A and B are shown apart, each in its own frame.
Chain A
Amino acid sequence: MTRTIHLSLDINGRRHDLDIEPRVTLLDALREHLALTGTKKGCDQGQCGACTCHVDGSRVLSCLTLAAQVEGRQITTIEGIAAENGELHPVQAAFVEHDAFQCGYCTPGQIMSAVACIREGHAGSDEEIREYMSGNLCRCGAYNSIVAAVREAAEMA
């Protein structure tokens, strides 16, 4: 039996209504139902960080969060962090400046994680950045540039 529930989600300051099965994760709701494909599906098991989003400002894995759980919360995705006029978020700009990617698949998750990492006050040194960004894997191995980008963005924040 397929059950459907109605949800109203607050994503990037906009209300989105959708009818989905209760088992649909926030990640699948974003990508498959709302065409917000900036958030990436890597492992889909909480091991890679590619799906990192913010819920009430806190970084979480959207692949292990049910969409139904976050009704009433404020959700922010990679599509929601640049300014209205299109100006990049300082962390986005720092990633471009430092060439902090190769294939780019992990980048939205890296950036969402880094924005929160800086806000949490966990970006005080390269060592601390590496520890607190360890939930975001980069199979291309762009870690040195990612750390440099996060450090520069943290120093400017």
Chain B
Amino acid sequence: MRDFSYLRASSADEARQAATQAGIMLLAGGTTLLDLAKCGVMEPETVVDITHLSGLGGIEVDENGARIGALAKMGQVADHAGIRAAFPAVSESLSLAASAQLRNMATIGGNLLQRTRCSYFREPDVFPACHKRNPGSGCSALGGVTRNHAVLGTSDTCIASYPGDLAIALVAFDAKVELGGRTVPVDDFFLLPGNTPERETVLERGEMITAITVPASAAAKNSTYLKVRDRQSYEFAAASAAVGLEFEADGRTVRDIRVALGGVATKPWRARGVEQALIGKVLNAETIETASRLAMEGAVSHGANHYKIELAPRVVARAILKVGGLA
């Protein structure tokens, strides 16, 4: 790990001001930054510790929705009674992510800024080619071992899968990211790799996430996060789905449904095609299975990740069956 200087920010403004300079990175839980610094992927000249700032860690839930401070820890949000009641998919996405220790360290703001990364990205010494690390250098994943790579939203420059869980639930329920001066829907916060895979979010230098807001809805209240993976715990998703559902008064016709996918795309992936196919329909095993297949519209296999194209619709279908009371 390259040497760096350490500063403690005394205010959010001071942190933002410092972060306008190249080479200066904000340090919160450190679980991504220090990990990638040890890999030789991140090389900050100075880290500015924001974990001691007050007023950025609150969690508030009322009838209109939730506001989660950027410095709230993943574990605190997962266990928060108000979040569990009004946004079960948000709570579950956090409980099923990382480990208890990492959830005690990692902040909500930092969680959104974890890098979209693959095993080739993490090893610069062994795999020098990576457009994300070094634009124009090539991609070691294309033609490599792609079991964990994305099938949706990929480009010629990058096929790394977005690894987070929380943002999948957030994008399903129209959450927004507060950046101090402006507010951005989570769906727009994340960028597709396109020709600039090194740029993963719309965050500008000198900006800092201050909070996340999630509007209350009947679908968010009746929601779940289903995560399927190679080992039972402490593992990234092979495929995951955040699903929320609201029925009409008849209790069987879909009024509102939200579907987002994790583990299969280069950014948190809202599956609007699945939603539109089910709104106004009576839920049963057949309508669910047919609609769930639409989640993979435009999917591209790179060999070993082909299984995700079969797996993801089944994960979506299982999650819908569960929130529909049909499982």
Q: Check if A and B associate.
A: yes
A residues sitting closer than 8 Å to B (CB atoms) are 1-3, 5, 21-23, 25, 44-46, 49, 52, 58-61, 64-66, 68-69, 72, 113, 116-117, 120, 122, 130-136
Across the interface, do B101 and A66 meet the contact criterion of CB distance under 8 Å?
no
Q: Determine whether B98 belongs to the interface, using a CB cutoff of 8 Å to chain A.
A: yes
- Nearest CB of B to A66, in Å: 7
User: In B1-56, which residues have CB < 8 Å from any A CB?
Assistant: 1-6, 27, 30-31, 34-35, 37-39, 47, 49, 51-52
Interface residues on B, range: 20 to 34
- Nearest CB of B to A45, in Å: 6
Which residue of B35, B49, B99, B232 is within 8 Å of A135 (Cβ)? B99
27 A-B pairs with CB atoms under 8 Å apart are: A2-B3, A3-B3, A3-B5, A21-B3, A22-B5, A22-B6, A23-B2, A23-B3, A23-B6, A23-B37, A25-B34, A45-B39, A49-B101, A59-B100, A61-B101, A64-B102, A65-B34, A66-B6, A68-B6, A113-B100, A116-B100, A117-B100, A130-B232, A134-B99, A134-B232, A134-B234, A135-B98
B residues sitting closer than 8 Å to A (CB atoms) are 1-6, 27, 30-31, 34-35, 37-39, 47, 49, 51-52, 98-102, 104-105, 232-234
Across the interface, do A59 and B3 meet the contact criterion of CB distance under 8 Å?
no
Please give, as numbers and ranges, the residues of chain B lying within 8 Å of A130 by CB-CB distance.
232-233
Closest to A44 in B: B38
Which residue of B51, B100, B104 is within 8 Å of A69 (Cβ)? B51
Given contacts A1-B3, A22-B4, A116-B100, contact A45 B30 (CB under 8 A): no
Please give, as numbers and ranges, the residues of chain B lying within 8 Å of A25 by CB-CB distance.
34
Q: How far is the CA of A64 from the CA of B37 in the complex (A)?
A: 10
Please give, as numbers and ranges, the residues of chain A lying within 8 Å of B37 by CB-CB distance.
23
The 5 A-B residue pairs whose C-beta atoms are closest, nearest first, are A135-B99, A22-B6, A134-B233, A134-B234, A58-B104
